Amino acid sequence: MITVRGAITIENNTESEIIDATKTLLSEIISKNKIDTEDIVFIMFTATKDIDKAYPAVGARLLGITDASLICAQEMYVVGSLPKCIRVMLAANSNLSKSEIIHCYMENAKILRPDLAKPVYSVAIDGPTASGKSTLAKEVASRLNIAYADTGAMYRAIALYFKNKDIDLNSEEQVSAAVNNVLLTIKYENGNQLVYIDGEDVTDIIRSAEIAELSSQVAAIKEVRDKLTEFQRSLAVKQSIVMDGRDIGTLVLPDSTAKFFITASIDERAKRRCIDYEKKGIYSSFESVRKQIAQRDYQDSTREIAPLLKAEDAYEIDTTEMNFSQVAEKIIGIVNERLEHGKT
């Protein structure tokens, strides 16, 4: 059995923030220590006295932790202690050794364990559609044990919002109003990025070919790019992260620790996209998918606002003749080399 500790702070003493923060912390602990929820024996939660709108244990139940014993207690008050802080002690059956356990301290709670602090760094992965960059970015983030941000999903989410609201993309007034009103939220559960629009989980809905095509048009709108660029940069300030897209290395995170530009032949990319669609029960002809990708390449490369470009200092990797593992290992090797030389 192992015991994992963690803590997280919240900004406001509200039911939603308490529950969301608890879920975020538990998901981080479970993901980083590769724990099955069925193996969790008990979790003890403590909270500072300025947190009283909800029991943190509710977050555990919402994550599907239904068999473990859950205990909630209020911390003893100490003058000068960290405010609005939730602490966790989780016990689970596991074969991890003591040295392999990863304790998780998030948000302002990081100051409680400076010995666990690591330099914040970022990895930028750019490339054309269907080049495999998102799958690679997620795998690289998992192996490096840092966060992953799929920026393409963010643009798709905005595209879905515009479609549902019947926004005229040629109307500056409608676009500006929509961009200011939409609430985009990114959450992580068990290492997976979830995308919410106005509180609704749209992670799966945004993967359709229709939304993919619309997102390219939406991404060419300056107001949208400005909003999402600011949002993406805010994610990278808080934590080490792998981010993929089309302008990460050139615009969003120009000072990344390492930058990569992933390419593949258009036929190879069309083949991969067809395979992805089939796995999701979506069937399109190779010719149709190839045509969509060619059109997307043209739109992304010729748009006036943040076109698809390779950063001058990016490593270009053509994956046409490479397997997934080879590419991931190459990227990780370069990142580790950059970190060893102190480039953060």
Catalytic residue positions? 5, 61, 72, 75, 87, 105, 113
Measured at the CA of 326, the angle between CA 322 and CA 329, to 5 degrees, comes to 150
CA dihedral 163, 152, 310, 232 (to 10 degrees): 110
As given in the structure block, the two tokens for residue 273 are 């996209």
Please tell me the distance from the alpha carbon of residue 324 to that of residue 275, in angstroms, as a whole number: 14
Burial of 82 (0-12, 13-18, 19+ CB in 10 A): middle
Percentages of the chain per state (helix, strand, coil), in multiples of 5: 45, 20, 35
Instruction: Look up tokens 């549902």; give the residue.
Output: 164
> Within 182-285, where are the H helices?
209-218, 222-238, 266-279
Of 285, 271, 254, the residue nearest 131 (C-alpha): 271
Of 285, 150, 127, the residue nearest 207 (C-alpha): 150
List C-alpha distances in Å: 248 to 232, 261, 294: 9, 10, 21
- DSSP 3-state assignment of 155? helix
Measured at the CA of 184, the angle between CA 179 and CA 186, to 5 degrees, comes to 155
Residue 106's DSSP bridge partners are 8
